[in-house]
Amino acid sequence: MVKRALDSGAHGVLVPLIYSADDAKRLVESTKFPPRGKRGFGSPFSMGAFDSKGDLSGLQYMQNANDNLLTIIQIETASALADVENIAKIDGIDVLFVGPWDLGNNIGHPVLGDFDQELKDAITRVREAAKAAGKWSGIYCPNGDVARKYADEGFQMISVINDMTAIPVYMTQSLNTAKGTWGHSAAQAVKGAAYGAVNLASRTSEDKP
């Protein structure tokens, strides 16, 4: 799956459910060309994602891919959290990304409202492990307020909202705006009635001899 994504032109991969440093090392091997990894070469599609004019050769892509494609792993299992400092030190891992809902489930503190302190501490541990290793940290956030909070804490890769939330919320707000609130509708009705009354009065006066 990793090779298929990169061969299709992806600029990186985000891989869920890493369990150990060994998992992370195997992932890196699959994303890097030799001698740093075991990725096979030969896709005719990768270059087009980086150069729409078609001037990038396959050889140039291969020579630059190892240093320019992102390898992002999700820390969302109890075993990965326990080994996060070692995972962060692995050469080739660029970002440690927290999936707080799965991480909460896997450490026995599911998200049922506000995050439990144990989950908050786990999230902090991931961020600090990434920082200590010179890597970036990321986290899934459901909205802008939460995203701002984690940005202020030092996370660099942060979701702001997801399409399953953004689309229905925006569509509902736009529909309500178009329909108007009760007060707006009432005001429009009054204006319409007044306009109709003026027209009626005008027509009536015109009809008089």
Assign 203 a pLDDT band (cuts: 50, 70, 90): very low
Q: How many domains does the chain have?
A: 2
Q: What is the mean pLDDT of the chain?
A: 87
- Whether 62 has a pLDDT exceeding 60, the answer reads yes
Same domain assignment for residues 175 and 100:
no
Same domain assignment for residues 157 and 174:
no
Distances (CA, A) of 195 to 165, 192, 204: 41, 5, 14
DSSP label at residue 12: E
Closest CA to 129 of 174, 98, 103: 98
Whether 157 contacts 72, CB under 8 Å = yes
According to the model, what pLDDT value does residue 186 have?
46
pTM, rounded to two decimals: 0.79
Domain boundaries, position 181: 167-207
Domain final residue, candidates 161, 178, 195? 161
Same domain assignment for residues 14 and 105:
yes
Three-class secondary structure of residue 196 per DSSP: helix
Q: What's the pLDDT tens digit per position in 137-171?
A: 999 999 999 999 999 999 999 999 888 888 998 89
Same domain assignment for residues 202 and 102:
no
CATH number at residue 108: 3.20.20.60
Same domain assignment for residues 191 and 126:
no
Which residues have CB under 8 Å from 47's CB, separation 6+?
9, 54, 56, 57, 58, 60, 61
Q: Tell me the C-alpha distance between 83 and 101, whole Å.
A: 19
Same domain assignment for residues 197 and 127:
no
How many whole angstroms from its chain centre is CA 103? 16
DSSP string, 124-153: HHHHHHHHHTT-EEEE--SSHHHHHHHHHH
According to the model, what pLDDT value does residue 181 have?
59
Q: Report the pLDDT averaged over residues 87-107.
A: 97
Q: What's the pLDDT tens digit per position in 111-135?
A: 999 999 999 999 999 999 999 999 9
